[in-house]
Structure 1
Amino acid sequence: MRVPTLALVLAAGLTAAGCSSPASPASPAAEQTPAAAGRSVQHARGTTTVPAEPRRVVVLEPLELDTAVALGVTPVGAAVASNVTGVPAYLGVGDAVEPVGTVPEPDLEAIAALAPDLILGTESRHSQLYDALEGIAPTVFMATQSDPWQQNVELVGEALGRADRAAELLADHRRHCEQVADEHPGAGTANLVRPRDGGTLSLYGPTSFAGSVLECAGLTLPARDWGGDIQVDISPERVPEAAADHLFVPVQDVEDPAGVPTLVAGNPAAFPAVHLVDTSYWISGVGPLGARRVLDDVDRVLDAP
């Protein structure tokens, strides 16, 4: 992506705002919160004053999108994991959220055209864009998408002025975990593998989003050296290293058995129970709503005879 100059970005934002009628309830200008009513939020790039009640939010990370919707704030724009799939259907927001490029390559002109009053992004992905984004609207950055997801949910809640509700959502998640774990004692071991090109599989660890949810639901991820990362890649000849009582495979179409990797399907001794799950919330949909869906899937799998 060729990043436009800040002048062009600001011009796009001013044009979009100027085209709105001040008398319209949906007008960005009418919804702006006075600076005097703002709040200070500490984040990866320092401290930023944000509106007391942001109303036109743009998010650049799946966790920020999931969390905002869970908190009752539907963003006006979001960077998406894929231009093909767009905003994940599981969020239930329909066409209310405008795609603004992809997560690794947000479209600054599209963001400015939405006249946001708050932008949420990630230092590890969007560091070079921070100054341009801050020129459009107050901008708050998570440090990295690899941080424990619950901590990032708390930051999003603070930025949106809904910290108490974010804490409630996380408490609900813990209770949901305990419920699933209590109903399925001795659930056994589990691994999550994502098919890659050339037969390589990405194996997700306990610090990943889905890995942490599997463990909180009472499943055990087999011990291995994760090297401080949320995942490791294993080559075709090492696929048996992913052996577990339950193997979860995130795919686009859970009804298509072709989604099971050939080396997994041909080794029932290592993989006695293989479950296709929806990648839109097992991998992409990090956040309270995605976690709820993952736990529901785990509960359904463990209930099956």
Structure 2
Amino acid sequence: MRRISALVLAAASLATAAGAQDVTIATAQGEATVPASPEIVVAYDVAAIDTLQSLGVELAGVPDNLYIPSLSADGAETVGTLFEPDLEKLAGIGPDLVVVGARSAPALNAVSQLAPAIDMTIGSELLEDAKARIAAFGTIFDRQQQAEALTATLDDKIAALGDAAADSGTALILMTNGTKMAAYGPGSRFGWLHDVTKMPPAIPELAATENHGNVLTHEAIAEADPDWLFVLDRGAAIGEDGQSAAQTLASPLIEGTTAWQNDQVVYLPAAELYIGGGGYSSLVTVIDALTEAFGA
């Protein structure tokens, strides 16, 4: 305990010395004041790591698994997991700023004892929150022009997807988890896919508040008869072995739907959508995959 306490005091002293100038930015818990242009940064949220790396920010510490191969942890120390920071390692780094979000958000109070910390969770208003996080990180690291360029590119890609998906009928967003299936409607965790494609849901009465989705059967999907199926394979997203989404969907009922018959089943980039949702490059990857599917 004495060693941890000493490390906490040392890290706090370093953070105080680094905070010569501060900036105020929007976070998931309201406005927060943090050191400007922090040099030693640790992030525990994959979406935040994604956006920070897209802005060219180097990280001193990251969780043990980023799940998305395109996110590089080269040069960064492993400082715990997405769910549980290693406080001793974190204190040893002496960060100027710690970023948490989503799965790591409950650790905000703990890491705040070691350094200035912010919660950059991206909520159900995914696109709005994603752009707000890009702007906030741009302000913190004095990279406003880069942040504006990322947002402009994102807006262009969203517009192109909307044009490509115009008049394409209904869509059903499905997540498979082994043999289980759940659907998501507008306003839900993955409802932003309806926003960017401008496609109405094949099942209008889906509850928007279901974080784990609305449980569906093959019969219900066949009855809804979507024009397009957008499919997320949760097992693939987290690297689990087991039945794939394609195997779960394979049945005469689903194979009889308009989506299946017209080859309009889109298997979305799983880790980018499920783990990195709202991170800049993850958003671009998912949007590009949908645009390509409609172009085909």
Same fold per TM (> 0.5)?
A: yes
Asked if the contact 2:45–2:104 (Cα under 8 Å) also holds between the matched residues in 1, the reply is no
Asked if the contact 1:66–1:288 (Cα under 8 Å) also holds between the matched residues in 2, the reply is yes
Asked if the contact 1:57–1:117 (Cα under 8 Å) also holds between the matched residues in 2, the reply is yes
Q: Which runs of 5+ in 2 are unaligned?
A: none
Asked if the contact 1:33–1:52 (Cα under 8 Å) also holds between the matched residues in 2, the reply is no
Does structure 1 residue 193 correspond to structure 2 residue 174?
yes
Alpha carbons of structure 1 residues 184 and 278: separation in structure 2 relative to 1, 3 Å? closer
**Aligned with 1:269 (options 230, 237, 256):** 256
Asked if the contact 1:13–1:113 (Cα under 8 Å) also holds between the matched residues in 2, the reply is no
Give the Cα separation in 2 of the matches to 1:268 and 1:157: 44
**Aligned with 1:224 (options 190, 200, 205):** 205
Give the Cα separation in 1 of the matches to 2:108 and 2:78: 19
Asked if the contact 2:185–2:208 (Cα under 8 Å) also holds between the matched residues in 1, the reply is no
- Equivalent position amino acid for 1:260 in 2: A
Does structure 1 residue 52 correspond to structure 2 residue 18?
no
Alpha carbons of structure 1 residues 144 and 288: separation in structure 2 relative to 1, 3 Å? closer
Which residue of the partner structure matches residue 79 of structure 1? 63
1:11 positional shift:
1.6
1:96 positional shift:
3.8
1:293 positional shift:
0.7
Q: Percent identity?
A: 23
- Equivalent position amino acid for 1:292 in 2: V
- Aligned to 2:95, the other structure's residue is in SS state coil
**Aligned with 1:36 (options 20, 24, 35):** 20
Which residue of the partner structure matches residue 275 of structure 2? 284
Alpha carbons of structure 1 residues 235 and 203: separation in structure 2 relative to 1, 3 Å? closer
- Aligned to 2:59, the other structure's residue is in SS state coil
Alpha carbons of structure 1 residues 239 and 140: separation in structure 2 relative to 1, 3 Å? same
Give the Cα separation in 1 of the matches to 2:284 and 2:194: 12
1:59 positional shift:
1.7
Give the Cα separation in 2 of the matches to 1:75 and 1:13: 22
Alpha carbons of structure 1 residues 151 and 163: separation in structure 2 relative to 1, 3 Å? farther
1:53-202 paired onto structure 2 within 5 Å:
53-79=37-63, 83=65, 86-91=66-71, 93=72, 95-122=74-101, 126-127=105-106, 129-142=107-120, 145-155=123-133, 157-159=135-137, 160-161=140-141, 162-163=143-144, 165-197=146-178, 199-202=179-182
Asked if the contact 2:182–2:212 (Cα under 8 Å) also holds between the matched residues in 1, the reply is yes
Which residue of the partner structure matches residue 26 of structure 1? none
- Equivalent position amino acid for 1:50 in 2: V
- Aligned to 2:84, the other structure's residue is in SS state coil
Give the Cα separation in 2 of the matches to 1:183 and 1:263: 26
1:163 positional shift:
4.9
Give the Cα separation in 1 of the matches to 2:68 and 2:282: 10
Give the Cα separation in 2 of the matches to 1:245 and 1:33: 58
1:171 positional shift:
3.1
Asked if the contact 1:122–1:145 (Cα under 8 Å) also holds between the matched residues in 2, the reply is no
1:284 positional shift:
1.4
1:229 positional shift:
4.0
Alpha carbons of structure 1 residues 154 and 189: separation in structure 2 relative to 1, 3 Å? same
Give the Cα separation in 2 of the matches to 1:183 and 1:237: 28
1:153 positional shift:
4.1
1:156 positional shift:
5.4
- Aligned to 1:50, the other structure's residue is in SS state strand
**Aligned with 2:293 (options 267, 292, 301):** 301
Aligned residues: 279
Give the Cα separation in 2 of the matches to 1:229 and 1:131: 27
1:140 positional shift:
1.0
1:118 positional shift:
0.7
Alpha carbons of structure 1 residues 148 and 33: separation in structure 2 relative to 1, 3 Å? farther
Asked if the contact 1:146–1:230 (Cα under 8 Å) also holds between the matched residues in 2, the reply is no
Alpha carbons of structure 1 residues 43 and 185: separation in structure 2 relative to 1, 3 Å? closer
Give the Cα separation in 1 of the matches to 2:295 and 2:191: 19
Asked if the contact 1:249–1:260 (Cα under 8 Å) also holds between the matched residues in 2, the reply is no
1:262 positional shift:
3.0
Q: TM-score, normalised by structure 2?
A: 0.76
